[in-house]
Amino acid sequence: MTGELDALRRRYSGHIPGLLGAERSYAVLAPLLPLPDGPRLLFEVRAAGLRQGGEVCFPGGRMEPGETPEDCALRETEEELSIPRGEVELLGPSDFICSQRGFLLRPVVGVVSPAGFAQMQPSPAEVAEVFTVPLAFFSRTEPVTARYELTPSLPEDFPYEAAGIPRDYAWSHGAVEVPSWQYEGHVIWGMTGRIVRDIIQGL
């Protein structure tokens, strides 16, 4: 028993809580470009050979062990776009997204300097295209919003009787709202759209 308690003491001493059940975490940078006519958001289009190729996204990827969201976002931006991390002023973290697929997405908002933007060289293996959108466009344009339901589906051998609940138990349902904007032939939607919506709510 003492050994078990010691193990729990070690586990919880200095423990930083995360999301229960999350198998992995990702981080992205929402890069802002400060231009004379107002800030613009920088987006990527995923290379065709990647999972979800052709989709619009922010630079980012899977967090490595011991890595903060900020470190991951800067590292991935440097790998994908060759923008040096020293040319990005981090404004802070945006609200994170919990995916029903079992991972956390940790967005970080940052400002890319003109020098950093001038050094940008997208990696062909990861990035098919980059483009920018005025932040004001998102503020003044209502997105098209879709909503999909999250419906629980339990196996037949779930121990209803042992748990003391009926087979028609009212399991909680959920839903996810997905905003999308169209801008000059590109569609900004999904988790990227949700991050954009969170950013403009602060304006």
- Print pLDDT tens along the chain (203 aa): 578 999 998 988 887 777 777 778 899 999 999 999 999 999 999 998 777 778 999 999 999 988 999 999 999 999 999 999 999 999 999 988 887 766 789 999 999 999 999 999 999 999 999 999 999 999 999 999 999 888 888 898 999 999 999 998 988 888 888 999 999 999 999 999 999 999 999 77
State if pTM tops 0.75: yes
Both structure tokens of 21: 């059940």
Q: What is the CATH number of domain 20-200?
A: 3.90.79.10
Q: Hey, where are the domains in the chain?
A: 20-200
Distances (CA, A) of 145 to 43, 130, 182: 20, 24, 12
Please, are residues 41 and 196 in contact by the beta-carbon 8 Å criterion? Answer: yes
